[in-house]
Copies of this chain bind each other. A is one copy, B any other.
């Protein structure tokens, strides 16, 4: 890859947000003018190398004509760099672990980390985007969701994006950082099978998240491999409350499970409380495995067996990837899954 291929483009915020013809030029218009698809323009903007040289040149010329400028020519007074970390909500211990990881990487690089929560509200996203436009940003990390309605504007501004643990709606040219959710779900279930359990429940995560689906498929694969036909699945939404209710439903069914895999630690702790209220001791009467390895899982009574998701490392890698893109460097692997690991503590034991 040559150096110029690795460069990408960015509109100078100081020059205002409009094209040279005085109105906003969208990526779609540039795509139409160049006779290519919108994703192709995105790939050029994001410094991706999988665009034919002739196409790239045509798109670059149009971008330039419409007021986009080469990344290298961008200068901010003071010269300091800021990146944005955008959550839907900063309400879970899960969010903090990622935040710590991003902060470690950005702090080490002398870059400020602006943290925002948009609460899935378009008005809130617009407010954030307005603030970003005014102060500028060298890149954005979205957690659990893609840029959504902000996508076009960020592309137009030439602000690179990285997504952590995508919900499944990321556009194909956006780098993503995730964890091996499928392998993790499989390991959790295999651990219970090895202990001798045959009736194993699953409290699943939200259906619309890819990570939930992967954990569920991992659970199914482990059961299938062990020749266990009975799936015992209840739907949860990653909240404590849904873990509490989920275990209740599993225990109310005939042929109740002797072990449960909760697809998040928070749901596992909800299941703890449901077990306690029914007088079931963990792990004597019921084994429980979680997913995440939040600090709370170590502090639970008993300490929770869980699948460690390397959240701090995921945040740190997302930040390093973003800073590379912000420097106009290419990235080798646009989609990365960091390895999960089963951490055996005191909440699992052989069935009685």
Quick check: is A302 within 8 A (CB to CB) of the other chain?
yes
A90-105, CB < 8 A from B: 90-91, 93, 95-96, 99-100, 103-104
Interface-facing stretch out of A38-46, A59-67, A74-82, A219-227: A74-82
Question: Which of B115, B130, B276, B300 contacts A110, CB < 8 Å?
Answer: B130
A297-352, CB < 8 A from B: 298-303
Quick check: is A231 within 8 A (CB to CB) of the other chain?
no
Instruction: Output the least CB separation between A295 and chain B (Å).
Output: 8
Q: With contacts A82-B114, A113-B116, A135-B82 known, is A96 near B90, CB below 8 A? A: yes
Quick check: is A248 within 8 A (CB to CB) of the other chain?
no
Quick check: is A23 within 8 A (CB to CB) of the other chain?
no
Residues of B within 8 A of A114 (CB): 82, 112-115
Quick check: is A169 within 8 A (CB to CB) of the other chain?
no
A96 to B240, CA, bound (A): 18
A257 to B131, CA, bound (A): 55
Q: Are A116 and B112 closer than 8 Å at their CB atoms?
A: yes
Q: Are A13 and B99 closer than 8 Å at their CB atoms?
A: no
Quick check: is A287 within 8 A (CB to CB) of the other chain?
no
Residues of B within 8 A of A124 (CB): 107
Q: Are A78 and B135 closer than 8 Å at their CB atoms?
A: yes
Residues of B within 8 A of A104 (CB): 117
In the complex, what residue of chain B is closest to A296 when comparing beta carbons? B296
A303 to B241, CA, bound (A): 13
A84 to B275, CA, bound (A): 43
Quick check: is A272 within 8 A (CB to CB) of the other chain?
yes
Q: With contacts A269-B299, A299-B266 known, is A93 near B93, CB below 8 A? A: yes
Residues of B within 8 A of A116 (CB): 103, 107, 112-113
Quick check: is A160 within 8 A (CB to CB) of the other chain?
no
A116 to B96, CA, bound (A): 13
A240 to B296, CA, bound (A): 10
Instruction: Output the least CB separation between A326 and chain B (Å).
Output: 14
In the complex, what residue of chain B is closest to A137 when comparing beta carbons? B112
Residues of B within 8 A of A14 (CB): 77-78
Q: Are A117 and B100 closer than 8 Å at their CB atoms?
A: yes
A276 to B136, CA, bound (A): 52
Residues of B within 8 A of A82 (CB): 82, 112, 114, 135
Q: Are B299 and A78 closer than 8 Å at their CB atoms?
A: no
Residues of B within 8 A of A111 (CB): 131
In the complex, what residue of chain B is closest to A112 when comparing beta carbons? B114
A196 to B316, CA, bound (A): 51
Q: Are A77 and B80 closer than 8 Å at their CB atoms?
A: no
Quick check: is A273 within 8 A (CB to CB) of the other chain?
yes
- Besides the contacts A91-B100, A115-B115, A296-B299, what 6 more A-B pairs have beta carbons closer than 8 Å? A79-B134, A80-B135, A112-B135, A113-B115, A240-B298, A266-B299
